[in-house]
Structures are given as structure tokens and as C-alpha cells.
Chains A and B, each alone.
Chain A
Amino acid sequence: MTAIEEQGTSLWRDAWIKLCKNYLALLGLAIILLLCLVSLLTPWIAPYGYEEQNLLLGATPPSAAHWLGTDIFGRDMLTRIMYGGRVSLTVGFIATAVALVIGVLWGAIAGFVGGRVDAVMMRIVDIMYALPFMIFIVLLMVVFGRNILLLFLAIGAVEWLTMARIVRGQVMNLRKQEFVEAAYSLGLSQWTIIRRHIIPNTLGPVIVYTTLTIPSVMLLEAFLSFLGLGIQPPQSSWGLLINYGVETMEEYPWLLIFPGVTLSLTLFALNFLGDGLRDALDPRTSKDQ
């Protein structure tokens, strides 16, 4: 089996070569890596502490001392955004990863096995859909206490539902393809067929949906935090900053603009990278694109 794995890397190797020729996707990747790096190093490179207040200063527009201005408590916005990125990016990536893993596996198994297994698995998904999201989260919080890790899990546990549906639809289509039947006639086990023949062929829509999930997860976190179920002030996240920014956008527009721009930039970068990855992972798109 190990030898198959080694040869199996060539789709990814080819994808990487193709991705390197797609400058827009590389730019997206670079932006995301930069944001991650900044978030990682924030405690050391942030110009101020994130809870450092200066009530006398109040809300000031961008200046040489505070590049992105300060909020009503006189806290430096650049610092707040940098710390916020730590929360937002972690939530975004971890919750999406949870959704991705559960959703793809769940959908692939349901779609591939079909029949009664599929019916039961998809009814579970339906029930989860019907469950009011808020109650679900509140229940989790009550049972396990407030915990940022739990927040990731809770969001991921909701977001995987759509992913599972998308993958299941794809897989049901693929299952009838002759190359899957050929794999059967070679005597491959079901798990090998799912892993090697089914999942790689669902990557296109999965990647696009993933890049759409990350920003929506970040906003979901803001919503939960706003209700007091997520992270607590004085901690911050991009979503929270935007929420507070909206309240004061007429008097202090920079409180909305800068976090907004940061989140949009992340979203753009993710979309470019996602489109690039989708094309790169599809051998049918030309290699010299």
C-alpha cells in the first residue's frame, strides 16, 4: 500500500506546479500566509497591548502614533485588529477543517454505500439542520462550560451539514461511473475506492465551498461573541470589531473601515486561492495556464 501512496502524490505535485503558475492564487496564498504570520507573532510585534486603554485619548482618527486610529476607549486599532486576527483566523481554519473532515467523510460514505445506510445518515443530517442553531450552542455551553475550543467545535458541527450534502450528491453521481465499476472489478476494497477514486473527484466543489465557509464561520463567531457566547471583551475578533464599528460608523468610520477591509482582504485572498486550487487539482485544465 505504501507504494501506491507514493505514486498517489503526483496529483498533488502536479497541482502544486500548476498553482505556482497562477499568480493570482499565489498572491492569495501569500496574503493568507502573511496574515497568519502576523497573528502568530502579534504578542511580540504589536505596538500596544490589546487592553491598553487611554480614556483621555478617546476615539482618534489614524495618526503617526496610532496608524489605524483608536477606539472610544483609546485602544490602538492596529493592535486590536492584530489580536482579533488570532481569534478569527483560528476559528475560521479550525472550524472549517472540522466541517471539512466530517462533511466529506459523512457525505462520501452515505453517497457511496447508499440504500438504508444513506437514508439513516441523511436523516441525521436533516435533524441537525432542523435543530435551532442557537439552542444547540447554548446547550453545548451549558453542558461543557464556556471554552474557545468548544466554540470551534460547535461551529464546525453546524457547518459540515451542507458540506455533507454537496459531497453526497457528487459521490452518487461518481458511483455510477465506469471507472468506479472498473475499480470494483479490480477487487479494490470499498474504503480504497472511496479514498482513491471517489474523494479526489469531489475536490472541485469541496474546495470552493470551503473557501466560502471560512469567512462565514468568522462572521458566525462574531455573532456568537456579540451574544456573549463566544469570546469575551476585552479580547477581540474581526467580527466583533466590525459589529462595534457598525454602531459608531457615523462618528468614527475608521472603527468599521479597517476591520472590514481586513476581513474583505482575507475573503478575496481565500477566493483567489480556492479558485486556483480547484483549477490546479483538475488535470483537465491546461498545464500552461
Chain B
Amino acid sequence: MALLEVEGLKVYFHTRNGVVKAVDDVSFSVDCGETLAIVGESGSGKSVTCYSLLDLLPKPPARIEGGTALFDGEDLLTCDSTRMRHFRGNDIAVIFQDPMTSLNPFISIGEQLIEPLIYHPDPARKQSRETARKRAIELLDEVGIIDPKSRVDCYPHEFSGGMRQRVMIAMALINEPRLLICDEPTTALDVTIQAQILTLIKKLQETRDVAVIFISHDLGVVAGIADKVLVMCEGTIREAGDTDTIFYHSQNDYTQKLLAAIPEGAKQLPNRAQPDNVLVEVTNLKTHFTDYNKPSNQDNVIRAVDGVSLSIQRGEILGLVGESGSGKSTLGRSILQLAPTTAGQVTFDGTSLTGLNAKQLVPWRRKMQMIFQDPYASLNPRMTVYQTLAEPLLYHGLANRKTIDQQVRQLMDDVGLVHSQLRKYPHEFSGGQRQRIAIGRAIATKPELIIADEPVSALDVTIQAQVLDLILDLVERHNLTMLFISHDLSVVRYISDRVMVMNRGVIIEQGDTEALWADPQQAYTKQLLKAIPLADPRMERVRLADAQADV
């Protein structure tokens, strides 16, 4: 008998608008030393499935309508709250998606780590502060925190995102759980960090013989670490099987759709760049900020962009790759004059933008637009789609009261939204649709340059593919020039004609996409390229083993 056996699980949400079958008749099992990947888009019920096992769902509206979940022979769904606390504390641990919000900023990480040990309800397992602290240091060492003895007293803000996720993993492991639930543990992380965390989870599982449930929206990520894969859609299981079967012999349409959505390979469309027609010229651009956390007699300057020169040709899609903190977003904002530049020149279509004041910039703003990363934050929640799209047109006098309706409808068509949604507010749309609205707003003024800052990072893989195709289509139809910023190298390769790699405020390498992929010169670029997870289980296992050997 397996460690966890879920049989016919049904979780319904009873909302004002009727019953939503979030999880409908789902069965699976996972054993010690085994990794089960649950893959599906947002809203497929993959997280709800796992949260219902630990009674972490808000009830109401959620209600478990049926099924059993036997953990070591005991039903998790019917046990009382004391018993559930026992399971949560001792046997089942969860790693959440966002390491930035899942640690308490006011308590040192050492203190957070030992909490479950020193307050353990079972006196036999309760430990003194000293032994617990020792245990915490051992665990931090195990998850790869350098110098754990001094780091244990640091606070969460002193750790980077990847390090925080390691701390979260250590926290999950502190009570020696037998089942580890990882809810998209790498989605919020950079590609190199993601590779490290995947390697770490794989290693821990092998050394500790725990069962792992790994939830992800991206089949590519789980290829190397999963033994079994469960594909979910709309609350039901579409396909289940061992990893190789799912990846190589899938019969299911939905699984194939997920596999096809993973961006892979080179750009399919021809390069539209006009070689001698430079639209944007950036020379030795510097954007520095003052770090007020440091005393002013020390070096308290953050050099976000530190001497970047580049040129974008008309019609070109230029990819800008880098990890978080590399300054790539600041570079994008500096080019658009949204961030104050310290030194250097930005020339747009022959005119220098760096010397202009806010008023003089207005006519230029029309010609250069931005698409933001987070479609949940980049739309005003109190404006309807119509208002959002009409605002730039009316403000710049590109439409009058007679033509505005027609023009907004045209924009809706351009980005693939139906007219009946015009009067709706942003919260009524999914992430992908919201990003379409944001794109519509960006192209409303018929700009020449668009800077897209991680436009698909917050989206599911399938939606990501659709939005990428939309962007490519719009570039073609509206004759756009684009700077495409992303940390996801596969996406950049799929969309860009030329790529620049940025690290610590400077461009360290650039070249035509395929040339750079084939023959990277810098060690950093090689490392980035090596960290891309492959959507092929056999190759990915080899890559992970290599990475593990490197550590």
C-alpha cells in the first residue's frame, strides 16, 4: 500500500453564482521515494487537490463532497482538527510558490525554523532551544545556505529569492516529513535558481526517501524530477501515467496541447530588421540610485544600469536576457524615460530624449509604449476595458467622440477580445486576457517602439504561447520594433532576432539569437543556457545529474 492514496476526491466551491466543481473525482497515489507531478493550467484544481488534503481550504465556500485520502492507512479528509495538526506538524509539509511572502519578515529565519520543534505538542519530540538551533543550522547547510552558522540569525529580507526558497525547504524538512507538497516552488524564480532548487529537491528526495507531490503549470519543469505525472484540467484528471509515457506516448489531446505550448527552438518568422535604419540608439547609459539603507560615507550607490550602449534597428525584436537584479527592467524604463537617468544618451529616431522635460516628452511617449509583467497590477481596477483602451486615444487626440467607439472595437479585435467584454472590469478577466488588454493599451497610440518587460512571465505555459504569438502577429501587422525583456531564455529564443545578455548593470554579450545559442562566449551566458530545463525526460535527467555533479 502506498504512503498516500487518494480515491475519488471531490471538492466543490459553493459560490453565489452556483457550484464550481474545483476537483471532481480525482484519484492518485504516491509512495515513499517517489515524485508525483500534478500539472495543469491555473484553475485546473491542482492546488485545491493538495490543499484539501491538509484542510487548508477556506470552508465555506469549499466543501469536500466525497472521496478518501488515506495517509498511511488513515483518512485525512475525516480526521478531527487535533489529528490534522499532528499530520501537518509531523508528516506532511508544504513549500509554497512565493518565497517572498511566505516568511515572516519580523522574525529571524533561525527562529522561524525552530518554531515547530520548540513548540511541538508532543513532549517526546519537543526539543530545547539549543538542540533545535543546532538542527536548524544542519538543515540550512543541507539545503545549500553558505555559512549557516551566521546566516541563521539573519532576517528574511537579507536573503535573495532563491535563498528564501531554500529556507522554506529547510523549514518544510525540519520535522522530517514523509510527504512533501511543493506548490509551484520555482515559478517565481530565475532560471538558474530554478535549476538549483530542482536539483536540491531531487537530491533531498533521494537521500531522505520522502514522497514528493510537485505541482506545476509547466510540463517542461517536471520532466527531470517526476516519476509519475498527473495532468489535470477543469478539476478532472485528463491523463495519468509514468513520466516517459506522458512525454513520449501521450494519447491525450490536452497533454499534447500542454507539451506543444512549451516554447522550444528557434524563431520561425524571418528577421524584419532594417539593417541601416536605427530607431533607438543608447550610448553609455547609466542609471544609478542611492541606497538609503547604507550610510552616506560608504559607497551607497546602486548601479542598476552602468554604462550600456545598444542600438535597435527598425523592425527588429531585440531580446534582453538577465536574472532578477541584473538591471534589465531599469534599462527598459530608462530608455522610455520612466526612470531618471544619471548619464548617457537615449536617441529615438534621431532626437535625443535625455534632455527633454516631461512636457516635451509627451509627443514622444505616443511613439514608444511599454507592456508590463504583471497584468494584475498594470490595469487600473476601477476602469473598464473601454475606458482603459480609450484613454490613450482621447488623451493624445487620436480619436474624437464619433470615432472612439469604432477605434476601441478595432483594438479589441487586434488583441483577440470579444466586443461584449467592453464594459467589464479587469478583475473579471483571466491573466492572459488581462495581458491582452494591456497589450491593446500599448498599441493604441500606434507606437513605433514597444518595450515588453517580462510580458509572459506571470502566465501559464499555454497562455504564454498564445500571448507570444499575439505579440509576434502584432509586430508584423503594425510594423513594430520591440525590446523584449525576459529571464526565460526559451521564450527569448522563440521571439527575438538578436539577443543581449545583461548582468550587474552591463551588457556582457550580444549577438544573433541562433549564433549566440550555438556558441556562447561568456561563462555566464553558458551557465544561463545550461540552466534551461528541457521538456524531454531522458535528456533532462542527464542534465540534472550533471548539475548535481557540478555542485
Q: Which residues of A contact B (CB under 8 A)?
A: 1, 3-4, 6-8, 10-11, 177-179, 181-190, 192, 196-197, 200-201, 203, 281-284, 286, 288-289
Contact = CB atoms under 8 A, between A and B. Distances in A.
Interface stretch (B220-228, B291-299, B378-386): B378-386
B390 A283 contact: no
29 contacts: A3-B400, A4-B390, A7-B386, A7-B387, A11-B383, A11-B384, A178-B373, A178-B374, A179-B378, A181-B333, A181-B372, A182-B370, A182-B441, A183-B380, A184-B338, A185-B336, A185-B338, A185-B369, A186-B365, A186-B392, A186-B396, A187-B362, A192-B395, A196-B380, A200-B382, A201-B380, A282-B381, A283-B381, A289-B16
Contacts of B365: 185-187
A10 B378 contact: no
Contacts of B390: 3-4, 7
Interface in B376-414: 377-384, 386-387, 390-392, 394-396, 400-401, 404
B322 to A, nearest CB: 19
A177 B427 contact: no
B366 interface: yes
A182 B370 CA distance: 7
B383 A182 contact: no
A200 B374 CA distance: 21
Given A7-B386, A177-B377, A185-B365, A288 B372 contact: no
B423 interface: yes
B380 A3 contact: no
Given A181-B338, A187-B362, A188-B395, A3 B401 contact: yes
B396 A179 contact: no
| Majority-rule SS of A interface residues | helix
Contact of A179 (B366, B380, B384): B380
**How many interface residues does chain B have, given as a range?**
35 or more
Contacts of B338: 181, 184-185
A121 B382 CA distance: 28
Interface string B477-509: 000000000000000000000000000000000
Given A10-B384, A182-B370, A187 B396 contact: yes
Contacts of B384: 10-11
B44 interface: no
A281 B380 CA distance: 13
Contact of B16 (A178, A203, A284, A288): A288
A116 to B, nearest CB: 15
Most buried by A among B361, B374, B391, B423: B391
Contacts of A186: 365, 369, 391-392, 395-396, 441, 445
A3 to B, nearest CB: 5
A288 B395 CA distance: 33
A188 B382 CA distance: 17
Contacts of B379: 179, 182
